[in-house]
Amino acid sequence: MDFEYNDKTKRLLASLNAFMDAHVYPNEKLYYEQVAADRWTSPPIIGDLKKKARAEGLWNLFLPDSTHGAGLTNTEYAPLCEAMGRVHFSPQIFNCAAPDTGNIETIERYGTPEQKARWLPRMLDGDMHSAFAMTEPDVASSDATNIQSSIVRDGEDYVINGRKWWTSGVGEHDCELLIFMGKTDPSAPKHKQQSMILVPMDTPGIKVLRAMSVFGYDDAPHGHMDMVFDNVRVPASNMLLGEGRGFEIAQGRLGPGRIHHCMRLIGLAERCLELMCRRVSSRVAFGRPIAEHGVTLERIAESRILIDQARLLTLKAAHMMDTVGNKHARAEIGMIKVAAPNMACRVIDWAIQAHGAAGISQDFVLANYYAHARKLRLADGPDEVHRNQIGRLELRKYAEAV
């Protein structure tokens, strides 16, 4: 066993942290001001920082393929993901933001040469955004077989109809591509009904109804959009991998995405714990710094324990994905999906409490980050669905012996 990051990771982490210190934290305020001034356009500071980051080689770090990216394993990339997670908007600076990362991997892994040629270069250059349309409002989409949108072959085209919401990233002014999941064959076996298809955002028939709100936040300019697809027609060549293979692709992109989400949440929680520590050290109530009130120390200690445990579990899941593969890491991937967002909600809630009313306001990132962490207890399946699956895997170990 070895709990130390390897040299490659350490080196990149040092660069990344230096970049965060020099360029990201000092511009947090500016970022929010620019968003407030022009809500649905990517703020100029992001463009500026992207150039800087790329120049320093901090670009496409997530890509395990070293031709285009950093060639890191999940275990090597995970700590970088945590570092970026400390500032919610920072991953895009390094072209490492969801859902673009998942989309790039999907196209690279499952795309035809033509599909790759058309989309990958600009995506890898960070010149456009993309989105992933899966969740639907009318069904419990924790059970993915519930999805109802249709993708119907019609001559040389597919015709797409359906309603999708929580389509994140569509708010970006340069969101040019959607990966759409829907049913090509409702009569096929349960896990062969679904397909994924590439849909350029300028295709007629796509209508954005509204931005969904996360607690009161619309997360502009990224946005989580409620959309209608009304006879949206795309060439048959836009199909990914083949009809009925949507679930297969979904499984493939799932694992790394979970690691990224969870490591970012760990970074988020670390940041909030830092804010908490600084706050309680500087505020006095009833004659003593809040830091010396017993309940404060208890919460800081519990936060430290919870964060460190969640990090280790996530790194272990990453390590298993790297060594024995997604399938054998299934339980662990489910476990971090439960553990990390709950941990983050717990830690941030304490941090809020330590800040008094300021903690829920726009003066600190805490309430916003809480909303984000809370959302991740629901996105990609609510806690309960994952716990059920983890529980069943555990029971299976003793099934023969009953």
Q: Which is nearer to a copy of itself, 18 or 295 (CB)?
A: 295
Which parts of 56-98 fold into alpha helices (H)?
74-85
Does 208 sit near a copy of itself (CB under 8 A)?
no
List, in sequence order, every beta strand (DSSP E) within 155-305.
157-168, 175-183, 194-200, 206-211, 224-235, 284-285, 288-289
Does 121 sit near a copy of itself (CB under 8 A)?
no
Restricting to residues 122-141, name those near a copy of itself by CB under 8 A.
Answer: 135, 137, 140-141
The CA-CA-CA angle for residues 274, 275, 276, to 5°, reads 90
Which parts of 156-245 fold into alpha helices (H)?
none
State CA 207 to chain mean position distance: 24
Q: Which is nearer to a copy of itself, 104 or 291 (CB)?
A: 291
Minimal distance, residue 155 CB to a copy of itself, in Å: 36
Contacts of 100 (CB under 8 A, 6+ apart): 92, 123, 129, 130, 169
Mask 79-108, x = binds a copy of itself (CB under 8 A)?
------------------------------
Minimal distance, residue 151 CB to a copy of itself, in Å: 23
Q: How many residues bind a copy of itself (CB under 8 A)?
A: 101
Restricting to residues 376-395, name those near a copy of itself by CB under 8 A.
Answer: 377-379, 382-392, 394-395
Q: Out of 106, 245, 368, 373, which residue is the one contacting a copy of itself (CB under 8 A)?
A: 368
Which residues share a beta bridge with 214? Answer: 217
Q: Which is nearer to a copy of itself, 234 or 318 (CB)?
A: 318
What would the two tokens of residue 4 be?
């130390």
Does 7 sit near a copy of itself (CB under 8 A)?
no
Cα–Cα distance, 230 to 246 (Å, whole number) = 21
Does 351 sit near a copy of itself (CB under 8 A)?
no
Which parts of 283-396 fold into alpha helices (H)?
294-323, 330-355, 366-375, 383-396
Does 356 sit near a copy of itself (CB under 8 A)?
yes
Does 8 sit near a copy of itself (CB under 8 A)?
no
Does 143 sit near a copy of itself (CB under 8 A)?
yes
